[in-house]
Structure 1
């Protein structure tokens, strides 16, 4: 019996196309983008808008990777708050980073509006839920820094977070009303549709196996024997990065993000669980995140095992988290289970690399990829056109493989298990 481990609730729009559009043999593109996820498609769309000729090559199908399989939370900001960014990057670069981080959710919702994307969404904010006093103090620090910049944020009391989430066990939290939720597969599919309408050529099932630079012209070879030429190449494969660029895969630790979805909630429970439709992430070491879907299910996700799942028991930790937060859902069936691969960098920041002129690579979404990669795609396109590094919010950095990378995943798996135990003891 097949294991239902790849059955997301997200759906492509009914009019979603298959893509097999390629540049004619011998014709040179301005840019070839390897990877048809949010980062690659956003870059392609904005590059086409700047007058560039663009080819996107996707190894699988559009939306098949983490871009279509994530939790659909659109969260502005980075893992670090404004004061940290200013301290570590200096006043000029730090200020640019803070402003960029503040804009990432806007980039998504403005794109949905301006391009009339058929994407279900709710923009009522994101709640960072605190289950300890330490987490509550961290939320107060974050709130102070963002409120000072005019962001639409506020702290939540224990009573307020209980009313807004319907969940048990939180001491308070932080609400960021700039955020929201989308259907990520619909979003990725619609990005591909409007990019193609703007003149971008997109080809699915074209795995790139070789990149070579000769006299300033990039030659791109695929597994199917396709040969393309381009002035520039953007590698937008993130957690699915392989050996195309030497050492790049060793700069990230790929992790699996597992998710579950309940059956549609009965009306009496739907009225008390996330009644305003916010997204939630909690403060645990191995956090869980959750939201309601457009068809009224509760969707909950978190880190899963490092290896591929082999049975539905691999999602048991999420089911336990769901029952802990919402005991009233003990009789509501878990109908869907799925997972996607995400990438972690050691410093928890996205990395932009340019190992050779005309070759760009971006890795590391850090759990905020929907907004981050949408906004970053526009900046990468601007950089491709102008060559002005000020277009890039993050500095271009050299590729630095993680020491003993082969053992890093073993260490991460052990850390996840230890943190999960500590979280369980804290309740």
Structure 2
């Protein structure tokens, strides 16, 4: 694929970190983490701080996957509101889950502050923009529920959302001031740095190809011929999950999230577009999300084609969305185009699996992975260290492959096309 289609605007910190590679052959470790994204690195950092010997194995390079390619929106909460969580999970677990969901953005920004991470960020909130009366009513219901729990949120009128976004076409919206934006590649890289400093070992270009149980340990084999023994294994591969654990890849629907970035905006344009630096996601069936970058570009993303992109035309739907929202940007050049892979579960909740003792897997970020996986990594580390199941905010669930999974992508592609057409009629 041409570099122009795989090169995001995000930047690694200038300081080069030396990643220690592998523990000596034959030396058992406490935990091997497969996948060096936000989930894997957060788990590694907290597990190392708890005194565990931790080995991270990353198939590519740190930041090459969705953790370094996403839109950098740090959004607390889940797809479901508090009252649904309480009804679905019961008063005790539901309340714990609401509290966990409320804390996920704090987990990111507290980590940046406490560890002095070299990560550009703005924490002025996230706007869920409503383009229909139905969406506006849903926003009011969400506002009521979170406001009752003391969250710093606000329902926005049509005039208020127009002033805060500079965009056209919204009837109102909802502002969650707990949220913000970061440079996701810088964040992932800095997570690797502090995890390494805490004692975790991180090996890049080490694709795990086989897992086996032997004499009370897990034997982990990589394509390069490395072998490790571990008391526990955590699969933190999410949308990049393959056949390492039978059935796991069939529990998720991987989707491509495409993004575009303009050239840096002129001061006149920048003053009228997201002047306070919020992130935005809209209420369309095939939503678009956008924010400004640290160097003054507008970055906009949304669902893309299921096949790998082959030309700039594969991003044209995002350019149309940009022009619809901001007609003044119609002539502004698009300088960068890239994409990453995200994972959705049928119930739109993260899933934690432990099919065998000491073998854990986490899948399903649902588009909120920066905060969710940062916070969940700390809980996973506590569970690995002391075995207390109450440390996990979500219940352990069995691996249930989606029926007819092989045909699911065809259905998803058709649904996206249909929803995009419906959205066009609601302009």
Q: Do these two structures clear the TM 0.5 threshold for a shared fold by scoring above it?
A: yes
Deviation of 1:18 after TM superposition, in Å, equals 5.0
Aligned partners of 1:300 and 1:318 also within 8 Å: yes
CA deviations over 1:71-109 (Å, ceiling 9, x no partner): 000000000000000000000110111000000000000
Aligned to 2:267: 267
* Alpha carbons 1:16, 1:190 under 8 Å: kept: no
Tell me the TM-score normalised to structure 1 length.
0.99
**Is residue 20–residue 196 contact of structure 2 (8 Å, CA) maintained in 1?**
no
Q: Is 1:355–2:355 an aligned residue pair? A: yes
Deviations 1:113-133 (A, max 9, x none): 010000000000000000000
Distance 2:202 2:407 in 1: 37
The answer to whether the aligner puts 1:290 opposite 2:290 as a matched pair is: yes
Q: Deviations over 1:246-271 (max 9, x none)?
A: 10000001000000000000000100
Structure 1 residues 393-426: Cα deviation after superposition (integer angstroms, max 9, x where no partner)? 0000000000000001110110000000000111
Aligned residue runs from structure 1 range 98-177, under 5 A: 98-177=98-177
Q: How far has the Cα of 1:35 moved from its partner?
A: 0.2
Matched, 1:245 2:245: yes
Q: List per-residue Cα deviations over 1:124-178 (Å, max 9, x = no partner).
A: 0000000000000000000000000000001000000000000000000000000
Matched, 1:48 2:48: yes
Distance 2:342 2:308 in 1: 13
Deviation at 1:17, TM superposition (A): 2.6
Q: Give the CA deviation at 1:20.
A: 4.7
Checking the alignment, whether the CA contact within 8 Å between 1:18 and 1:204 is kept in structure 2 is: no
Structure 2 unaligned residues grouped into runs of 5+: none
For the aligned residues, what is the CA RMSD? 0.8
- Say which is worse superposed, 210-219 or 347-356, in terms of deviation: 210-219
In the TM superposition, what are the counterparts of 1:363-402 in structure 2 within 5 Å? 363-402=363-402
Q: In structure 1, what is the Cα distance between the partners aligned to 2:330 and 2:21?
A: 48
Separation in 2 of the partners of 1:157 and 1:13? 39
Asked if residue 59 in structure 1 is aligned to residue 59 in structure 2, the reply is yes
**Partners of 2:259 and 2:338 within 8 A in 1:** yes
Alpha-carbon distance in structure 2 between the residues aligned to 1:133 and 1:241: 39
Give the TM-score taking structure 2 as reference length.
Answer: 0.99
SS of equivalent residue, structure 2 residue 272: coil
Partners in 2 of 1:251 and 1:19 — Cα distance? Answer: 32
Residue 339 of structure 2 aligns to a residue whose secondary structure is strand
1:157-205 CA-partner distances (Å, limit 9, x unpaired): 0000000000000000000000000000000000000000111000000
Q: Contact conserved, 2:29 with 2:53, CA < 8 A, in 1?
A: yes
- Pick closer, same or farther for the CA change 1:318–1:18 going to 2, 3 Å: farther
- Asked whether the 8 Å contact 2:13–2:118 carries over to 1, the reply is yes
- Whether the 8 Å contact between 2:251 and 2:401 is mirrored in structure 1 is yes
- Cα distance in 2 for residues equivalent to 1:25 and 1:396: 32
Aligned to 2:308: 308
* 2: CA distance, partners of 1:93 / 1:370: 23
Equivalent residue, structure 2, for 1:332: 332
Which stretch of structure 1 is more off in the superposition, 11-20 or 297-306? 11-20
State the 4+ residue runs in structure 1 displaced beyond 2 angstroms.
16-20
Distance 1:18 1:340, change over 3 A: farther
Q: Residue by residue, what CA displacement relative to the aligned partner does 1:333-371 show, whole Å, maximum 9, x if unpaired?
A: 000000000001000000000010000000000000000
Q: Offset at 1:215?
A: 2.6
Q: Cα deviations across residues 271-313 of structure 1 (Å, max 9, x unaligned)? A: 0100000000000000000000000000000000011001010
The answer to whether the 8 A contact 1:260-1:299 is kept is: yes
Contact 1:16–1:189 (CA<8 Å) still a contact in 2? Answer: no
Tell me the CA shift for residue 21 of structure 1.
Answer: 1.5
Establish whether residue 198 from structure 1 lines up as the match of residue 198 from structure 2: yes
For residues 54 and 166 of structure 2, the distance between their equivalents in structure 1, rounded to whole angstroms, comes to 47
Gaps of 5+ in 1: none
What's the secondary structure of 1:355's corresponding residue? strand
Is the 1:3–1:310 contact (alpha carbons within 8 Å) kept by the matching residues of 2?
A: no
| Residue of structure 2 in register with 1:182 after alignment | 182
